[in-house]
Amino acid sequence: MAYSTPRKFALLLALWVSVTVAVVVTITSFVAAGEAIWWVPVASFTTTFVLTYFLAAYAVERFIYDKIKVIYKLIHSQKVKKEDKTKPSIDLDRDIITEVDSEVAEWANERDKEIEYLRNLENYRKEFVGNVSHELKTPIFNIQGYVLTLLDGGLEDPTINRNYLQRAESSIERMINIVQDLESISQFESGQLILDIERADIVRLATDVIHALELKAKKKGIKLVLKEEYDPIYVMVDGDRIKQLFTNLIENSIKYGKPNGRTKISFFDMDQNILVEVTDDGIGIEEKHLSRLFERFYRVDKSRSREAGGTGLGLSIVKHIIEAHNQTITVRSTPGVGSTFGITLKKVKPNQVIS
Ligand code: ADP
């Protein structure tokens, strides 16, 4: 475009004005002097051209600078430096208007994305607060019910007093579980949690968790086993977090396992990584639920989960732990047959030096 840069605009304007002035001055001098003076058009053209060019360039520069300064201040939240206020610094050979136009469009685009992100965050926050209060309501009302019954004379009734206190205690335990899980989630989501990555024997970590949960599993007649005897397998992980992950997966296999079933842990070598699978022969999960399983508070069967003391947060914590390790988790399941949760972990090479 002819006026695409400030310099081109000033040059064109100067040309138009100086041609007009030269013509007018030449005609006037011709009429006044009665003859043509050769230097009049040359001198008037040159003088007007130079003057108009510099004046126009300065005016355009000043004008654009004043307008652009406001736009830039707005879009980049920039403060214009003191020296810039008195001395505009516009490159006259750049197509500034088009550049500003595209920068503003880009800025508007970014703002749109930011607004969308904030809207999602706001929805998530509302949903989250709603879910948390809903989860806490049940145990709180239960506790209130038991305490009121005890106060209304139940305390003196030996057939119910101990039983109601035990029920109140299990509701309190449920609340503690919810709060602890919420704490873990909030630590992960706020980025406060820094992993303590070390070389650790994953077989040992899994065995420790199996021992810790053996009693719980026994109550349902479920056996917790390693697929075979393994030599130590070293991985780079935060041991405590991986234990928390195993605990959640194995506890689920007990909660949703069939009585007298079996939970099996297997390890597979995958070159750079180790694949760990936790397999149960429990109730399984329908395909349609699998993609949402790791969402907070997502449950396939709400009443079964609550009955089993589930918070609906276990798998989302597992996902956070795995993502913090930059690894992946997958799930395969067949209703009535069982489920397999697989995670990958970074292997330590046999002669790797640990810094
Ligand atoms: P919860 O505290 O309810 O167990 P989780 O986040 O750990 O929450 O799991 C989400 C849901 O996924 C559970 O409510 C359950 O329906 C389903 N689920 C998880 N693990 C298993 C499993 N091993 N077998 C069958 N269903 C499972």
pLDDT tens by residue, 106-117:
989 999 999 999
pLDDT in tens, 242-281: 999 999 999 999 999 999 999 999 999 998 999 999 999 9
| Ligand 1: centre distance to CA 50 (Å) | 81
- For the CA of 316, the nearest atom of ligand 1: 6
Q: Tell me which residues have their CB closer than 6 angstroms to ligand 1.
A: 248, 252-253, 255-256, 280, 282-285, 293, 298-301, 305, 310-316, 339
pLDDT at 265: 98
Under the banding of pLDDT at 50, 70 and 90, the label for residue 154 is very high
What residue owns the CA closest to ligand 1's atom 13?
299
Look at residue 348 and give its three-state secondary structure: coil
Backbone phi and psi for residue 200, each to the nearest 5 degrees, phi listed first: -145, 150
| Ligand 1: centre distance to CA 299 (Å) | 6
| pLDDT over 90 (residue 176) | yes
| Ligand 1: centre distance to CA 128 (Å) | 18
**Contact (CB, 8 A) for 347 and 274:** yes
Q: Which of 176, 252, 288 to mutate to test the pocket of ligand 1 (most atoms within 8 A of CB)?
A: 252
Q: In the numeric block, which tokens belong to residue 72? A: 């830039």
Q: What is the mean pLDDT of residues 161-169?
A: 95
- For the CA of 309, the nearest atom of ligand 1: 2
What residue owns the CA closest to ligand 1's atom 2?
310
pLDDT at 87: 53
How many other CB atoms are found less than 10 A from the CB of residue 71? Answer: 14
Q: What is the mean pLDDT of residues 28-35?
A: 89
pLDDT at 79: 52
- The model carries a pTM of 0.71
Cβ neighbours for 247, distance < 8 A, ≥ 6 positions apart:
209, 212, 213
**Contact (CB, 8 A) for 248 and 239:** no
For residues 303 and 1, what is the distance between their CA atoms, to the nearest angstrom? 70
What residue owns the CA closest to ligand 1's atom 10?
299
| Ligand 1: centre distance to CA 291 (Å) | 13
- For the CA of 278, the nearest atom of ligand 1: 23
pLDDT at 191: 82
pLDDT at 231: 95
| pLDDT over 80 (residue 55) | yes
What residue owns the CA closest to ligand 1's atom 8?
312
Backbone phi and psi for residue 99, each to the nearest 5 degrees, phi listed first: -60, -45
Q: In the numeric block, which tokens belong to residue 294? A: 């790791």
Q: Which of 177, 245, 255, 340 to mutate to test the pocket of ligand 1 (most atoms within 8 A of CB)?
A: 255
For residues 205 and 179, what is the distance between their CA atoms, to the nearest angstrom? 25
Residues of the chain above pLDDT 90, percent: 68
Under the banding of pLDDT at 50, 70 and 90, the label for residue 353 is low
Nearest to residue 253, comparing CAs of 288, 297, 285?
285
pLDDT at 145: 97
- For the CA of 338, the nearest atom of ligand 1: 24
Domains of the chain, first to last: 6-94 (no CATH), 124-190 (1.10.287.130), 198-346 (3.30.565.10)
pLDDT at 306: 81
What residue owns the CA closest to ligand 1's atom 19?
252
Q: Which of 256, 291, 302 to mutate to test the pocket of ligand 1 (most atoms within 8 A of CB)?
A: 256
How many other CB atoms are found less than 10 A from the CB of residue 217? Answer: 20
